Amino acid sequence: MAERADRLAGCLARALAERPVLCDLISAQAAVLERNVSPQVAVQYKRDAIANAQALAGRVAAHLPELGAEGAFRFIAGTIMVTGAVWAHAHPSAAMLAAYEQDPSMAALRLDFATTLRETLEVLLAGLLARAARA
């Protein structure tokens, strides 16, 4: 089970890393894209987002049935949120890049997107699987 979970985390991280425009959009979703829209647009967007998340959760549950449908959905929701945060931090501004160059002690703050996302998804899955086992 742990191996399947780690493979799933790695596959998702690689797939997202290969789609930088999608990652840009995910990182801008809540802070930018969901602002200044009509309630009708917001409702349709969220319905579509839920349907897409449920479809992805179904695929996750097929590979990790131990998660169950709810755990798989929570994993997909967490993946979306984490992807946006890691993407933003892994692609710092020019000023931050210059600061990192100026002070090598800040090297720990430079994140590799795919690696950090994979590791974070592994931890998220491990936690969800542990909770599912207790339930």
pLDDT tens digit string along 82-135?
Answer: 999 999 999 999 999 899 889 989 878 889 999 999 999 999 999 999 999 998
Over range 39-52, report the average pLDDT: 94
pLDDT at 106: 86
Over range 68-79, report the average pLDDT: 97
CA 40 to chain centre: 26
| CA–CA gap between residue 24 and residue 32 (Å, rounded) | 11
Q: Which of 2, 25, 7, 8 is nearest to 72 (CA)?
A: 8
Q: What is the mean pLDDT of residues 37-58?
A: 95
pTM metric for this prediction: 0.90
Q: Which two tokens stand for residue 19?
A: 């789609």
